[in-house]
Amino acid sequence: MPLSKDEQRSACLAALADPTRRAILALLARKRLHVEELAAHFPISRPAISKHLRILKGAGLLREDHEGRRAFYGVDERPLAELERWIATQRRVWQTSLATLKRLVERDD
């Protein structure tokens, strides 16, 4: 069952909270890699890398392509773009609210 937009945002934010997962995404943003290539960049085990990949994939942040028996991973930017739109909306809401609060406070002075 696909995630709702709210669940998708929450999954993305949770996945991005981990520095190793952010580093994996940074590597995959440059080129697609398979697990062994990714594991070579980190001082953690291949199973640990696989766990991070499962979390990133569950959040919709990865594409997985198979060539023979190997799975290659790349970044799926769509959830990041949706998260960016949501953050921009929240920023506008807060800026408007703070501007209103400022006007109210200054009027009371």
Q: Is the separation of the CB atoms in 64 and 71 below 8 Å?
A: yes
Give strand ranges (E) for 46-98.
62-67, 70-75
CATH numbers and ranges of domains, the chain? 5-108 (1.10.10.10)
pLDDT per position in the chain (109 positions), as tens? 777 888 889 999 999 999 999 999 999 999 999 999 999 999 999 999 999 999 999 999 999 999 999 999 999 999 999 889 988 888 887 888 777 888 888 886 6
In eight-state DSSP terms, residue 61 is -
Strand, helix or coil at 43?
Answer: coil
Give strand ranges (E) for the chain.
33-34, 62-67, 70-75
Specify the pTM: 0.80
Distances (CA, A) of 96 to 84, 91, 100, 101: 18, 9, 6, 9
